[in-house]
Amino acid sequence: MSEETIFDKILKNEIPSEKVFENEHVLAFRDIEPQAPIHVLVIPKRKMESFADLADADPRDVAAFMQGVARVARELGLDENGYRVVFNTGRDGLQTVQYIHAHILGGRSMKWPPG
Ligand code: DGP
């Protein structure tokens, strides 16, 4: 059993969050420390700890999650100007919450390379 994280508690409505989208497979809510005018986190309802776990996941779960991320971005009105999707993964990736989450960043032009 993996350790319970803050995102498990958000999913169970045990702590508040500003939700922007929900379907059968994913939940999306605003990041508490926004790094862009629009900064939303998307988590799958079926828990995985990190992006690395997708390597062994059921492809249907992977597809549902990825499609959910794209749908959230569309719902946020980001399709026209574009956006960035980030998966911080593991120690070097600076992942701080051990529940897989996609960051959707938009509303400004991004920089490259990232830090
Ligand atoms: P990371 O694990 O580094 O990919 O980023 C985790 C993100 O989660 C970070 O941008 C801040 C955000 N975050 C941490 N705690 C909370 C919380 O309680 N509520 C919300 N909405 N976001 C949080």
34-52 pLDDT, tens digit per residue, is: 999 999 999 999 999 999 9
Cβ atoms of 75 and 10 within 8 Å: the answer is no
Give the residue among 105, 97, 110, 81 at the shortest CA–CA distance from 43: 97
For the question of residue 101 being annotated catalytic, the response is: yes
Q: Which of 3, 4, 6 to mutate for ligand 1's pocket (most ligand atoms within 8 Å of CB)?
A: 6
User: What angle is formed at CA 43 by the lines to CA 94 and CA 95, rounded to 5 degrees?
Assistant: 5
Cβ atoms of 57 and 51 within 8 Å: the answer is no
Task: Report the pLDDT value the prediction gives residue 94, as an integer from 0 to 100.
Answer: 98
Atom of ligand 1 nearest to the CA of 97: 2
- Fold held by 6-106: HIT family, subunit A (3.30.428)
Q: Is the pLDDT of residue 1 over 90?
A: no
Task: Report the pLDDT value the prediction gives residue 2, as an integer from 0 to 100.
Answer: 85
Atom of ligand 1 nearest to the CA of 17: 21
Beta strands in 26-78 (DSSP E): 26-30, 38-44
From the CA of 31, how far away is ligand 1's center (Å)?
A: 6
User: pLDDT band at 115, cuts 50/70/90?
Assistant: confident
Name the residue with the closest Cα to ligand 1, atom 23: 32
Atom of ligand 1 nearest to the CA of 35: 10
